[in-house]
Amino acid sequence: MKTITYCICLLSFLSSCTTQNTANSANEALDSNGIEIDQNALIIGDPLDCGIENTLLFPVGGSYQPEAYRGDQIELRSLSFTSNQSSKLYDRWASSEFINSDRNAFDITNILFYDPRNRESYALTTDSIHILSFALHQEFDNPLIFYRVVKANTNGDEIVDEADGVALYTSTLNGHDFRQVTPDNESFTDYFYYSATQSILAKTIVDRNKDGVFSSADETNFREVLLSAPAMGVEIFDTDLKNSIRIDH
């Protein structure tokens, strides 16, 4: 009986050690020099003054290639938003737009807002998100920031980008009242702004076949969002109407 009890205790001990080692290895990664990488290291980028009064924005995120930047503080500056000066704006109505300056190396998961006047700082959100770009709309009666956000890597590649489906979010200019206005199962592509009603019609691609990929095989949709009180956009064409004109093949 003592022998059986001893064996059971030994097996329990070995199982515990194996579980602990597995848990530890899951939390550890090594760079090319065999040095452990802190997977939870938080990178705060340089401050961005994008023209909002008394407000600085700091991008927050992590690197897809942490071993390439370990011990080299200069390279960490690559985590940043830069003004989109290309001929193609993601937000064609924006007065100014800012994009991830090195999206193939860095994933921007949050923004810290800082008011140097009263030394107040806070995060845009506590959710797990990925910010591709944001645009300022000081021309609205209720000035807002529009954000292009990805919530999950749905296609399974290494980079979080438009291929995973984009949601439109809004906040006030100082980063408060962060709200999602297009749903998870639709990918935001464009919008149309109507100043008379202070509203937008957000155009999306619906993942109709639910394969996690947004493509020409899917269909488009339009949702109305009131800029005076942003909330989840309301479909302007209901399901019954769309089904009534759907052509069966």
What is the per-residue pLDDT across 33-45, written as a single tens digit (0 to 9) for each? 454 545 567 889 8
User: Which of the four pLDDT bands, split at 50, 70 and 90, describes residue 102?
Assistant: confident
pLDDT tens digits, residue range 141-175?
999 999 999 988 777 777 888 888 899 999 999 99
3-state secondary structure of 123: strand
Judge whether residue 192 has pLDDT over 80: yes
Judge whether residue 9 has pLDDT over 80: no
Which residue from 224, 189, 184, 219 is spatially nearest to 203, judged by alpha carbons?
Answer: 189
pTM: 0.79
Please answer whether residues 112 and 80 qualify as being in contact, where contact means their C-beta atoms are separated by less than 8 angstroms: no
How far separated are the first and last CA of the chain, in Å rounded?
73
User: Which of the four pLDDT bands, split at 50, 70 and 90, describes residue 66?
Assistant: low
User: Which of the four pLDDT bands, split at 50, 70 and 90, describes residue 104?
Assistant: confident
DSSP per-residue codes, 225-248: EETTS--SPEESS-HHHHHHHPPP
pLDDT of res. 218: 86
Task: Out of 36-50, 113-127, 159-173, 193-207, pick the least confident.
Answer: 36-50
pLDDT tens digits, residue range 67-98?
544 455 444 446 889 999 887 889 999 989 99
> In three state form, how does the secondary structure of 6-44 look?
HHHHHHHHHHHHHHHHHHHHHCCEECCCCCEECCCCCEE
pLDDT of res. 147: 98
